[in-house]
Amino acid sequence: MIFETIAQTDHEEVVFCQNKDAGLKAIVAIHNTVLGPALGGLRMWPYKTEAEAVNDVLRLSRGMTYKNAVAGLNLGGGKAVIIGDPSKDKSEALFRAFGRFVNSLGGRYITAEDVGIDVNDMEYVFRETEYVTGVHQVHGGSGDPSPFTAFGTLQGLMAALQFKHGNEDVGKYSYAVQGAGHVGMEFIKLLREQGAKVFVTDINKELVQRAVDELGCEAVGLDEIYDVDADVYSPCALGGTLNEKTIDRIKAKIICGAANNQLATNDIGDELTRRGVLYAPDYAVNAGGVMNISLEIDGYNRERAMRMMRQIYYNLGRIFEISKTENVPTYLAADRLAEERIALIGKIKLPHMGNGGTRFQGRMRGQ
């Protein structure tokens, strides 16, 4: 039923990649290339079934289309997944084989880091294709995008505080941060730098202890994070934590975090609106990382990247105003903003069919 499935989600292309010798089983999903080549990360995860992997890559790639559109990037949306355990199945051969598949797409899909992948893995992919972002600085790339994702999340938070409370005084409020990984920890640092009270939880107890010892946070249990009496709930780990089981427990009046796909269903977003809770749509908030790595395509500049992050503040402001004016939930306002841009550009552009000129200036490939 794969054609029926991708027809329902409006995907342009889904590619199944396998290399038996390297142990590679991967899927690349290109959702929409009206705005430009599809940019989206590579995720490695021990999916229980192939159907689970397909559903994940389709969902994630569609989300990248909306994220890139709202961020104002000339990029479409795509994603890739490798079926495997990142703790034991990684190898040079695996990632170089994947790189060759990416290269065969001729620039329609550009990959990057995601869950289970780090900059060292991208080094191997980069040996086989130029269509990689987030490569190490020694190659002229931008490196780890986590600090930029966190800084962009802070911009989204400030926009939410301004809309809800009429000020941007981050340190005046308290935060329940779920997740202290790469992005979560960077976000916590930014909150603490402004004197904010931060409650933190993570499946990795060592990371929680680090946040307590080094940053002065207060640790809470994995399940207790939903009961914390904080002003802002910040999901920065896995998605779907806003669901029927948690929504009644969350006391925060603002939800703003870096995690993807925070709403388990659209109905949850509707209910948050009815309750007067301001939800900052995840893909608008966490766009800092993709904004940063997108600059590698035409020549990376860190100062330009930091200036781009401020656009997240203005994007969230527009989303909140659309929500208020049109009396729709914020997640729907964000979707409308993305769809309007795609439709407008779609009137003058066809889908992207491959690399059309010199790109990735200033980068160096090789051993």
Q: Is 59 exposed, middle or buried (0-12, 13-18, 19+ CB in 10 A)?
A: middle
79 as an active site residue: the answer is yes
Which listed residue (25, 67, 79, 164) is catalytic?
Answer: 79
Both tokens of 253, joined, read 């009046």
Both tokens of 225, joined, read 């994070």
Q: How far apart are CA 226 and CA 289, in angstroms?
A: 26
Residue 116 Ramachandran class (φ > 0 left, ψ -120 to 50 alpha, else beta): left
The answer to whether 95 and 57 have CB atoms below 8 angstroms apart is: no
Those residues whose C-beta lies under 8 Å from the C-beta of residue 7, and which sit 6 or more positions away, are none
Share of the chain residues as helix, strand and coil, in percent rounded to the nearest 5:
45, 15, 40
Alpha helices in the chain (DSSP H): 2-9, 50-70, 92-104, 119-128, 146-165, 182-193, 205-215, 266-274, 282-285, 288-294, 302-326, 330-346
Give the count of alpha carbons within 13 A of 34, CB side only: 21
The answer to whether 165 and 192 have CB atoms below 8 angstroms apart is: no
DSSP-based three-state secondary structure for 274: helix
Q: What letter represents residue 21's amino acid?
A: D
Both tokens of 351, joined, read 């889908």
Pairing verdict, β 254-255 and 13-19? unpaired
Catalytic positions, written as ranges: 79
